[in-house]
């Protein structure tokens, strides 16, 4: 039975001496309060647009190619920084132009219900 070789990085180099591959930790900087609030506004705008379009979470999530749970987390601000293509797919699914959605996330959008109904 072969035994596993575990590299020793105790010198802090972060390098695997046999391959030269850097092994580093990826650390995400915590979100600021402003970024979290922007995510909450984004979620609220998407939820309002979905309601105005009389679409269920299941319908919108399926059309956008995401799970209902992911949509729920975005709408409630628990995922405050969703991927751009996810936001784009959601905006398409609820009939909301991206520029209006961006303005809503920044806090300066018109009434989302009116915009969604006009689309």
Using one digit for the tens of pLDDT, what is the confidence trace for 63-105?
Answer: 999 999 999 999 999 999 999 999 999 999 999 999 999 999 9
pTM: 0.72
Would you tell me how many other CB atoms lie within 10 Å of the CB of residue 52? 20
Under CATH, what is the fold of the domain 33-118? 434 Repressor (Amino-terminal Domain) (1.10.260)
Task: Give the tens place of pLDDT for each residue, 16-33.
Answer: 455 556 566 778 889 999
Domain boundaries, the chain: 33-118
Report the 10 Å Cβ neighbour count for 80: 19
**Residue (of 73, 7, 86) closest to 43 by Cα position:** 73
The CA distance from 62 to 69, in Å, is: 11
């Amino acid at each position: 039975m072969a035994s596993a070789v575990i590299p020793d990085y105790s010198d802090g180099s972060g390098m695997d001496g046999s391959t030269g591959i850097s092994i580093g930790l990826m650390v995400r900087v915590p979100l600021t309060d402003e970024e979290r609030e922007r995510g909450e506004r984004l979620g609220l705008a998407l939820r309002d647009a979905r309601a105005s379009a009389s679409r269920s979470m299941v319908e919108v999530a399926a059309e956008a190619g995401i799970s209902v749970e992911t949509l729920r987390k975005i709408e409630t601000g628990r995922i405050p920084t969703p991927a751009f293509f996810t936001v784009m797919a959601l905006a398409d699914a609820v009939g909301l132009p991206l520029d209006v959605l961006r303005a809503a996330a920044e806090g300066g959008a018109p009434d989302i219900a009116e915009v969604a109904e006009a689309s």
